Amino acid sequence: MTRIDKRFAALRDKGTKAFVSFVMAGDPDYETSLAVMRGLPAAGVDVIEMGMPFTDPMADGPAIQKAGQRALDAGHTMDRTFDMVRAFREGDDETPIVLMGYYNPIYSRGVERFLAEATAAGIDGLIIVDLPPEEDDELCLPAQAAGIDFIRLATPTTDDRRLPRVLQNTSGFVYYVSITGITGSATANAASVGPEVARIKAGTSLPICVGFGIRTPEAARDIASVADGAVVGSAIVEKIAAGEPVDAILAFVRGLADATHAG
């Protein structure tokens, strides 16, 4: 079992849902980003989703685009991302870490090298938004062979004919994108998300976590009531962008996590 599998099994045993938080690696700088990351588990985060800064983040809204640019402007690189993960793992060997981003930086680095470095650093999963199932040989299957889960996105436009292909080689959990559009562009609605989660569950035994459009504890609780977990990114990234102290950011995260677990 991967760390992701173990975490979801533990949550099921406790009868609670997963809270997944997104932060951009290196935003606004290496030291602050690492301080936030180190504080996330104590703030109730079950899975850390870490963005890999990239110059053309086509699925992301303004908040996360700007976070990636701040990190790049501060000199953040893939090497520094792995440095962060290794530093985090010195004090925490249990919390799952998922890298989210785009294929170009991985392709440029070389898949074999990237996977070797990710495994050695302590990465547990990948969400690569611009690699469809038809390209599973590129990264999905090699990642799983290396022991890294490949987490696929399902969306409101993933119809019943497409869904089995999306689920075929997915592992860890399924990430359901609750809205059509980019991150931070609309609000998730439990009434519309619930039937979609049920439809996906009919095709897989994997947990279903819902992201995009969750900004408040109330929204996180509502989404967790119909899914296996909630993912929050833009709302946290905006706190970082505003220059709020690390303690204040983590307190905000704690409110989201508590509400999700109550769901």
Which residues are designated catalytic?
49, 60
Rounded CA separation 59/193 (Å)? 19
Find residue 176's DSSP bridge partners.
Answer: 154, 210
Rounded CA separation 89/142 (Å)? 23
Place of tokens 């990114």: 233
Rounded CA separation 115/208 (Å)? 25
- DSSP state string for 149-209: EEPPEE-TT--TTTHHHHHTT--S-EEEE-SSSSTTSS---HHHHHHHHHHHHTT-SS-EE
- Residue 49, judged by CB atoms within 10 A of its CB (0-12, 13-18, 19+), counts as buried
Rounded CA separation 87/108 (Å)? 24
Q: Residue 128 phi/psi, 5° resolution?
A: -115, 105
Rounded CA separation 158/180 (Å)? 11
Which amino acid does the sequence have at 31? E
DSSP-derived letter for residue 249 is H
